[in-house]
Amino acid sequence: MMRQFELLERVKAYDPAADEDALNRAYVFSMKAHGAQLRASGDPYFSHPIEVAGILAEMKLDAASIITGLLHDTVEDTVATLEDIERLFGPDIAKLVDGVTKLSRLELQSDQTKQAENFRKLVLAMSEDIRVLLVKLADRLHNMRTLHFLKDEERRRRIARETMEIYAPLAERIGMHEMKDELDDQAFAELHPDARASLMARLSFLREKGEGLAERIIDELQETLTKGGLSAEVSGREKTPYSVWRKMQRKNVGFEQLSDIMAFRVVVDTVEECYQALGVIHSRYPVVPGRFKDYISTPKPNNYRSLHTGVIGPERQRIEVQIRTREMHEVAELGVAAHWVYKQGAPRTEGRQYRWLRELLDILEHASDPQEFLEHTKLEMFQDQVFCFTPKGDLIALPRGATPVDFAYAVHSVVGDTCVGAKINGRLAPLRTQLANGDQVEVITSKAQTPSPTWERFVVTGKARARIRRFIRTQQRQQYLDLGRAILQKAFRHEGHEFAEKALEEVLKRFNCDSVENLFVAVGEGLATGR
């Protein structure tokens, strides 16, 4: 367990201006608050917030985030109150702790609706301050590292599934690839222990069989780049068992058919040198067709930038090479945490700056219930990307399999609602056409158009599906409303009375309706009768 001075030294190493007094007070407050509490592992409970703070310090986050990491369980699990936190550490930290505490309370619920509600609250909290998500991810990472100590197998599997379905994709969306890989792999170990053990054994066998192979490939790549006039750092990294397994599932191939389980990174100083390094490698080794991706020219939505290429490299090995600058490498490893720039003394923590987060909030607004929201957002987060362009050249990133209708909704909700047709690369195309990388899409709209229920069969983005479903619900409601009004008018005439909405207000309670409009809808749906 990290001691007080060690945590302080780690934070001060990258942020000399960090509030030393507040960090020390938070450490002591948390230790005293948790007292003699123990974790499932038998360790003092206090070891958990310390480890969470350590993970946040590895990300080089600000002192407020580290303090929140130390305090994040005190309000939920001890006698400490939010008022205590605000009095001792200020409103900013109290707000962060409150955000994480609310999520932890919801997490204790196990059914699907509660999980959906939990995720909805998480999106709202991180839209206010992205640090809530960073602390939550660090909390989840340490819990996954110690998951095997939990005796309840069903609870372990639920936590692992939630990690794989929600937290790992969120880590990826904010560019935190290392954290995403570990979260996925820890969850994989719980959900598919036999598959992971088998892959670990195979990877270990390959390592022994090709002893020194990675080092020889690195040396040859280094020499090739030096001869090409470049000063570059070359490193190699074995892919995680989960990423290997997922690739096998996605491509429906066996382990023996995978040849790029090692990724090699080339880090240079400038963007120009990235392309120069690519030219040197391509002129020296045969290129594997279809494996080149330029994420520098078209970055991923999480701001990941790099050149990826596949080549038949040194010793006739098929390898993947990623080329990036040092700054890009930092962003690739730490994601949003790498952007911890201070503006006029305050960190940029406003979550709404991230387009994908704005889209989740848009889905949140149009989904009818938390479960529908969870369904749409899983769609939104899990898919690979295609990059398309508007006629003006603006880049729109979409999930693979997206159609012109998805594109239209990504441009603007109104454009999606009024879409009647589309031109792809200058040619008229059906609205169900799947878009490809680099397509230029022009959406044709009409004020007379409304969303078609048939669109729901082929759209793939959560935003498009949420808008279409909302329109269908609104349209159905209007039909039920008109039908209900007509039924009641007829009933009034049949009884020889003049129809008056005022008279209906007196019987609303009897039918559990809070307005005359809702009574019309209930009658139209057949949910309310004159019994």
Q: Does the residue 479 lie in any domain?
A: yes
Q: How far apart are CA 144 and CA 156, in angstroms?
A: 9
Same-domain check for residues 19 and 156? yes
Q: How far apart are CA 310 and CA 263, in angstroms?
A: 10
Confidence class of residue 50 from pLDDT cuts 50, 70 and 90? very high
Same-domain check for residues 420 and 505? no
Report the percent of the chain where pLDDT is more than 70.
Answer: 82
Q: Does the residue 347 lie in any domain?
A: no
Write down the H helix ranges in 388-461. 404-411, 413-417
Residue 108 has pLDDT above 50, yes or no: no
Q: Does the residue 100 lie in any domain?
A: yes
Q: CA-CA distances (angstroms) from residue 365 to 123, 215, 373, 398?
A: 12, 52, 9, 20
Instruction: Report whether 306 contacts 328 (CB < 8 A).
Output: yes
Q: Which residue in the list 15, 43, 58, 77 is annotated as catalytic?
A: 77
Q: Domain range for residue 319?
A: 196-339
Counting the structural domains of the chain, the total is 4
Instruction: Report whether 67 contacts 26 (CB < 8 A).
Output: yes
- Select the more confidently predicted residue: 124 or 78: 78
Q: Does the residue 144 lie in any domain?
A: yes
Same-domain check for residues 326 and 360? no
Residue 299 has pLDDT above 50, yes or no: yes
Same-domain check for residues 228 and 154? no
What pLDDT score was predicted for residue 156?
92
What pLDDT score was predicted for residue 366?
62
What is the DSSP-derived secondary structure letter of residue 146? T
pLDDT single digits (tens) 444-495: 999 988 888 899 889 988 889 888 888 888 777 777 788 888 888 888 888 7
Confidence class of residue 345 from pLDDT cuts 50, 70 and 90? very low
- Bridging pattern class, strands 262-268 and 318-325: parallel
For the chain, the average pLDDT equals 81
| DSSP H or E stretch at residue 418 | none
Q: Does the residue 346 lie in any domain?
A: no
Q: How far apart are CA 69 and CA 46, in angstroms?
A: 11
What pLDDT score was predicted for residue 352?
41
Domain limit, last residue, from 190, 225, 255: 190
pLDDT single digits (tens) 154-201: 889 988 988 887 788 878 777 778 889 999 999 999 999 998 888 888
Confidence class of residue 276 from pLDDT cuts 50, 70 and 90? very high
Q: How far apart are CA 319 and CA 286, in angstroms?
A: 11
Domain limit, last residue, from 131, 157, 190: 190
pLDDT single digits (tens) 400-431: 889 999 999 999 889 999 999 999 988 999 99
Confidence class of residue 353 from pLDDT cuts 50, 70 and 90? very low
Confidence class of residue 41 from pLDDT cuts 50, 70 and 90? confident
Cβ partners under 8 Å of residue 161, min gap 6: 187, 191
pLDDT single digits (tens) 303-312: 789 999 988 8
Instruction: Report whether 456 contacts 416 (CB < 8 A).
Output: no
What pLDDT score was predicted for residue 277?
95
Q: What is the DSSP track for 461-475?
A: SHHHHHHHHHHHHHH
Over residues 132-152, the mean pLDDT reads 91
Is 77 an active-site residue?
Answer: yes
pLDDT single digits (tens) 2-36: 888 898 899 888 888 888 999 999 999 999 988 88
Residue 387 has pLDDT above 70, yes or no: yes
Q: What angle do CA 380, 300, 356 make, to 5 degrees?
A: 40
Q: Does the residue 454 lie in any domain?
A: yes
β-sheet bridge partners, residue 323:
266, 307
- Select the more confidently predicted residue: 27 or 436: 27
Q: Which residue in the list 76, 86, 128, 456 is annotated as catalytic?
A: 76
Same-domain check for residues 414 and 381? yes
Same-domain check for residues 281 and 429? no
Q: What angle do CA 122, 123, 124 make, to 5 degrees?
A: 90
Domain limit, last residue, from 468, 488, 516: 468
Residue 432 has pLDDT above 70, yes or no: yes
At 250 the three-state DSSP class reads: helix
User: Which sign, positive or negative, has the C-alpha torsion 56, 61, 63, 68?
Assistant: negative
Q: How far apart are CA 340 and CA 357, in angstroms?
A: 18
Same-domain check for residues 388 and 439? yes
Same-domain check for residues 269 and 333? yes
Is 194 an active-site residue?
Answer: no
- Select the more confidently predicted residue: 376 or 284: 284
Residue 117 has pLDDT above 90, yes or no: no
- Select the more confidently predicted residue: 208 or 345: 208
Residue 54 has pLDDT above 90, yes or no: yes
What pLDDT score was predicted for residue 525?
73
CATH number at residue 454: 3.10.20.30
What pLDDT score was predicted for residue 531?
45
Q: Does the residue 66 lie in any domain?
A: yes
